[in-house]
Amino acid sequence: MDSVQAPSAIVPTYARANVAFDRGEGCWLVSTAGERYLDFGAGIAVTSVGHAHPHMVETLIRQGSKLWHVSNLYQTPEGERFARRLADATFADLVFFTNSGAEANEAAIKMARRRQWIDGHPERYRVLTFEGAFHGRTLATIAAGGQKKYLEGFGPKVEGFDQIPAGDLEAVEAAVGPETAAIMIEPIQGEGGVRVIAPAFLRGLRALCDRRGLLLIFDEVQTGVGRTGRFFAYEHSGVQPDILTSAKGLGGGFPMSACLATADAARGLTAGVHGTTFGGNALAMAIGNATLDIVLAPGFLDRVAGLGLLLRQRLAELKDRHPGIVDEVRGEGLMVGLKLHVPPGDFAAAALAQKLLVIPAGDNVVRIIPPLVVNEEEIAEGVRRLGAACAALERRPAVAVE
């Protein structure tokens, strides 16, 4: 494996593995030492169409040699087209473009509060969120996520977020008060450990929001753009949100995000009340359109759904072969979690030793989230490497489990 030489000048907030990558193609990465790795992490569900997809590269070069950025003071036809396509493919009427998942969630929260305000309910500003949630690392989104490890040492928690257990409709009902503006939830918790929220619970939230005049926000930063075998995960439940955020897979690796909404939910965001310098620039918008060219092509999402089924079948067999390591297989489409009997960090390290990238998550889960362009042979190869990682973990001296 490669080693990074000089002391790093980067703030040490990340525990990085000792490997660097030089290039990629599809589901494969080549390290700076020239070794090939199978990428079943997709840069945390970001490289949705794989590395160096020819259409993405062609778009980057074409748009990059023409125009990158003019600001939101002027028209951006690529952005108009991208927004129209997102709206046409979803529940949404309108789109606000941002640059990261957290920023899209900030837009969603502001949009919901402002809608309540413009309707004469300035007292309604609180947002209900769920235990195990992850909504980003800005000051407001760490308050929304509610996790102590992300809040600690950063001063007073931003006011206005109430957290309750997922799955308990009565607890949600009881937590809604005169100050509640919105409910925000990931249809499948990603960082929380690929925890699929029951469709019946989402339906219950929808009904509750309708009854109490609240806005329903789906954080699909991780689940969106085909990851679960549908364009957005809400389609599995049939429950439509008022506001939805998308980021990770949206630009295939180019940083961009979007906050989608019904016209009614977005009513409060009038000229001048919200903005971003970078959001929706010409380069990002061209690349976003290129992602949609691929993901919304006929048959693409059905293929993802089919491969997801295959992957989960193979992983169920893996669990049967290694019951001391794998406890449970869960997820939807190509967003799969293995609940483990060993620490997920150890498992990811064992997989890395087999030249396979996977991503640890909460709840003792490791995420298997390959690029959506993965094929059957790569799934078989990835599962073979996961088996080798399990075998290596079984051979090591016993450690405390969970």
Ligand X SMILES: *Cc1c(COP(=O)(O)O)cnc(C)c1O
Catalytic residue numbers, as ranges? 134, 219, 248
Number of neighbouring beta carbons within 10 Å of residue 272: 6
> By three-state DSSP, how is residue 205 classified?
helix
Distance CA 230, CA 234 (A): 8
Of the pair 116, 246, the CB lying nearest ligand X is at: 246
Of the pair 325, 365, the CB lying nearest ligand X is at: 365
Show contacts with ligand X in window 80-109 (CB under 6 A).
100-102, 105
Structure tokens given for 317? 């067999």
247, 301, 304, 374: which one binds ligand X (CB under 6 A): 247
> By three-state DSSP, how is residue 253 classified?
coil
Within 8 A by CB and 6+ apart from 298, the residues are none
Q: Which residues are annotated as a binding site?
A: 101-102, 134, 137, 219-222, 276-277
Measured between its terminal Cα atoms, the distance across the chain in Å is: 29
Of the pair 135, 355, the CB lying nearest ligand X is at: 135
- Is the CA virtual torsion 169, 175, 176, 182 positive or negative? negative
Of the pair 124, 135, the CB lying nearest ligand X is at: 135
94, 217, 221, 340: which one binds ligand X (CB under 6 A): 221
Question: Which among 156-164, 216-224, 319-327, 394-402 is the span making contact with ligand X, rule CB under 6 A?
Answer: 216-224
Residue 138 beta carbon to ligand X: minimum distance, rounded to whole angstroms: 7
| Residue of 126, 127, 145, 149 whose CA lies nearest to 136 | 145
Please say whether the beta carbons of 260 and 92 come within 8 A: yes
If one asks whether residue 222 binds ligand X (CB under 6 A), the answer comes out as: yes
Show contacts with ligand X in window 106-145 (CB under 6 A).
134-136
Q: Which residues are annotated as a binding site for pyridoxal 5'-phosphate?
A: 101-102, 134, 219-222, 277
User: How many residues bind ligand X, per CB under 6 A?
Assistant: 15
Report the Cα 227 to chain-centroid distance in Å. Answer: 9
39, 186, 242, 378: which one binds ligand X (CB under 6 A): 186
If one asks whether residue 191 binds ligand X (CB under 6 A), the answer comes out as: yes
Question: Which among 2-10, 124-132, 214-222, 367-375 is the span making contact with ligand X, rule CB under 6 A?
Answer: 214-222
Of the pair 19, 102, the CB lying nearest ligand X is at: 102
Residue 383 beta carbon to ligand X: minimum distance, rounded to whole angstroms: 24
DSSP 305: H
Distance CA 22, CA 254 (A): 17
Number of neighbouring beta carbons within 10 Å of residue 213: 13
CB-closest chain residue to ligand X: 101
If one asks whether residue 42 binds ligand X (CB under 6 A), the answer comes out as: no
Number of neighbouring beta carbons within 10 Å of residue 5: 6
Structure tokens given for 202? 């989402």
Of the pair 154, 316, the CB lying nearest ligand X is at: 154
Please say whether the beta carbons of 105 and 135 come within 8 A: yes
Q: Which residues are annotated as a binding site for N(2)-acetyl-L-ornithine?
A: 137, 276
Residue 335 beta carbon to ligand X: minimum distance, rounded to whole angstroms: 10
Residue 222 beta carbon to ligand X: minimum distance, rounded to whole angstroms: 3
Distance CA 243, CA 219 (A): 9
The footprint of ligand X (CB under 6 A) covers 100-102, 105, 134-136, 186, 190-191, 219, 221-222, 247-248
